[in-house]
Structure 1
């Protein structure tokens, strides 16, 4: 068995996330306490007993999902003797890349929490509400998505492929009029389903340049070490351990495409057979079935998940 740990992005949040881990494992509770202290906010209280609308605000969602992911990894090591170094790679989807880097020791937990608060605020502020949009093109191939984006850009606006999540599951992002035009093109040209997404900003497109600039400034002041496990980066879909390359990739990632399909394919090509999705939900585990059916996926969000994973991997 060759293992990779993967870390989810926005959309996996829910009230109660991580609470059972904190109650069962002191190592997990310590993660939430440290994140609360770093942010000067009882984020854990919001996560466990708060309002979902407040939790879904990007500035809260990003550090919350990271905290859950890192808590799961700390509990896995403390409770079951499975450290991150048992994996051949780590990879995360969008903000999950920060979770992966923190779990692999490249960025401190406090710095990661603060960076994600800055990232969330900067991404929200980059585009005025209502001016940007995102849409999912389901059943589209890459050529169709590129053609849809070209139709969107004919309006004079921005329209980019934001996420290549899995075969037949592409997401586009840009100005609202351009996305509407791309959706209309898709519906008229054989794409199975093209639908607008309920998102707070148009992520991973050129409109996010102000947020990329903010992250460049924030990351310049943060210590980044070589991760204990190679990171498969969103923007390159290749492994990286060089701290300066990681820093540059994190900036590029704000406006760049999340090349998740290629990232999973890269890990499989290097011999990965098993994944553990650390944190909330199972979005990545479900998506990888469309990418590589032979991959054996496990979710690592609850104490029961960790126990089952430990039994399966040590058996």
Structure 2
């Protein structure tokens, strides 16, 4: 069985995530301590005690989700015998999850990933005035049809494809009026649903170019090692290992499309037969089932999941 590990993005946060792992395993506790120290605050307290409104703030949610994912992967290494270099064909993550994937593969330290994601979240949030941007999920239309919808809706404004998540699930991002037009046009074109998303900024579109510039500066000052296993990059849906290329792709990712459907399809085509979502929630595992039904999908976020993963590695 060829396995890849995948890491969730924003929207998967939940109060209490990672706490059971931290209470049970020293390896998990060490991750949360490292993230708290890197940020100079008790992000772990917000993760475990809330309130959800504070955890959901972009500047908190991004490093918090990384922390939950890295706690889980480090526990798999410490308790279930996982050797990422030997046991994984690829790692990949959805949006901020790409930083989690890189940290899991030792391309970033956990501390650097936490600081980069705090900066990324802050820069993305502040790039566009509140109310000037929006995002919408278009369900039930294929990717090419949504591209045409976005082009018609733009009308001289920004309406970009933010996420190509799965067949029939595409997210558009841009100016508030352009996104409202996209919702109307998508419904006219037969979308099953076209709904505005409750987000605080228009992520993954050209309106947040200033955030990409901020990340370019920050990434230039951070050591990026060759990852233990290739990372399937969001903006190319192809594997990357070169540190300079990793930096460049992370800068492009801020305003570029998260090509998740194609990323999963690439891994399936490369022989991956199991994808393990590591961290909070089961969003990516659910998408995998829609993209490549032949791939087994699992997730690891609790001590029970760690035990199940360990058991799956034992000979029958």
Normalised TM-score (structure 1): 0.99
- The answer (yes or no) to whether the contact 2:69–2:278 under 8 Å persists in 1 is yes
Structure 2 stretches of 5 or more lacking a match? none
* 1:207 to partner: Cα distance: 0.6
Shift of 1:39: 0.0
1:167 paired with 2:167, answer yes
Alignment of 1:81-230 (within 5 A): 81-85=81-85, 86-154=87-155, 156-230=156-230
Alignment of 1:71-90 (within 5 A): 71-85=71-85, 86-90=87-91
CA-CA distance at 1:67 after TM superposition: 0.3
Query: 2: distance between equivalents of 1:222 and 1:52?
Result: 31
After TM superposition, give the deviation of residue 295 of structure 1 in Å.
0.7
Paired residue secondary structure (1:314): coil
Report the count of equivalent residues. Answer: 314
What secondary structure, in the 3-state scheme, does the structure 2 residue paired with 1:117 have? Answer: helix
Matched, 1:310 2:310: yes
Q: Once the 2 structures are TM-superposed, how far is the Cα of residue 147 of structure 1 from its aligned partner?
A: 1.5
Task: Tell me, in whole angstroms, the C-alpha distance in 2 between the residues paired with 1:204 and 1:310.
Answer: 36
Offset from partner CA, 1:156-187 (integer Å, 9 cap, x none): 21000100000000000000000001111111
Kept in 1, the 8 Å contact 2:162–2:203? The answer is: yes
Distance between the aligned counterparts of 2:83 and 2:120, measured in 1? Answer: 28
Q: Taking structure 2 as the reference length, what is the TM-score of the superposition?
A: 0.98
Is the contact made by 2:127 and 2:209 (CA closer than 8 Å) also made in structure 1?
Answer: yes
Instruction: Check whether the contact 2:60–2:121 (CA below 8 A) recurs between aligned residues.
Output: yes
Is residue 153–residue 179 contact of structure 2 (8 Å, CA) maintained in 1? yes
The CA deviation at 1:50 is 1.9
Contact kept? 2:264, 2:288, Cα under 8 Å: yes
SS of residue in 1 equivalent to 2:313: helix
User: What residue in structure 2 maps to residue 298 of structure 1?
Assistant: 298
2:35, 2:110 within 8 Å by CA — same for their partners in 1?
A: yes
Q: Alpha-carbon deviation of 1:311?
A: 1.1
Give 3-state SS (helix, strand or coil) of 1:106's partner.
coil
Runs of 4+ with >4 A deviation = none
- Please list the CA deviations of residues 197-235 of structure 1 after superposition, one character each: whole Å capped at 9, or x if unmatched: 000110000011000000000001000000001000000
The aligned counterpart of 2:48 is 48
Structure 1 residue 48 displacement after superposition: 0.4
Residues 73 and 83 in structure 1, CA contact (< 8 A), matched pair in contact too: no
Distance in 1, matches of 2:237 and 2:314, equals 29
- Residue 280 of structure 2: aligned partner: 280
CA deviation profile, 1:246-302 (whole Å, cap 9, x unmatched):
000000000000000000011011100001101000000000100000111111101
Pairing 1:262–2:262 present: yes
Contact 2:80 2:309 survives alignment (8 Å): no
Q: Distance in 1 between matches of 2:157 and 2:313?
A: 49
CA deviation string 1:87-106 (max 9, x = no partner): 01000000000000000000
